[in-house]
Amino acid sequence: MLEDLAAAGVLDVRLEDICGHEFNAWRRQMPRLIKAGVQISPHTWGSALKSVYVAHFVGAWGHSPTIEGVTTEGGNVDFGENRIVGGQLVPSSQPGFGLKLPT
């Protein structure tokens, strides 16, 4: 139904969860969403890690007015070079989203 709404020009932003909707589903949809002029803002609530995932995804695909910020902790994960600068999340260029697991 959301694809039909986008094609009809009624829907302007998609907001499914980045993990619940799955990366591959987002990747398959992006060409159609871009063609329809629909922006994305994948939902990240519940995990600070999801904000990092979305920042990387949007860095690759664009077409996003904002990235939802999450006010939770990331557990034992080291956020590495992922930093907030001037109110914007600047993603790391390191592999694995720039995240490091404890050793």
Q: Pairing between strand 39-40 and 13-14?
A: parallel
- The string of pLDDT tens digits covering residues 4-44 is 888 888 989 998 899 988 889 999 999 989 988 999 999 98
pLDDT of residue 73: 61
- CA torsion sign for 19, 16, 79, 72 is negative
Please indicate, yes or no, if residue 84 is contained in any of the structural domains: no
pLDDT of residue 72: 63
Full-model pTM: 0.82
Please indicate, yes or no, if residue 9 is contained in any of the structural domains: yes
Please indicate, yes or no, if residue 94 is contained in any of the structural domains: no
Please indicate, yes or no, if residue 30 is contained in any of the structural domains: yes
Q: Indicate the number of domains in the chain.
A: 1
pLDDT of residue 74: 62
- The string of pLDDT tens digits covering residues 37-85 is 999 999 988 888 888 899 899 989 999 988 887 766 667 888 888 888 8
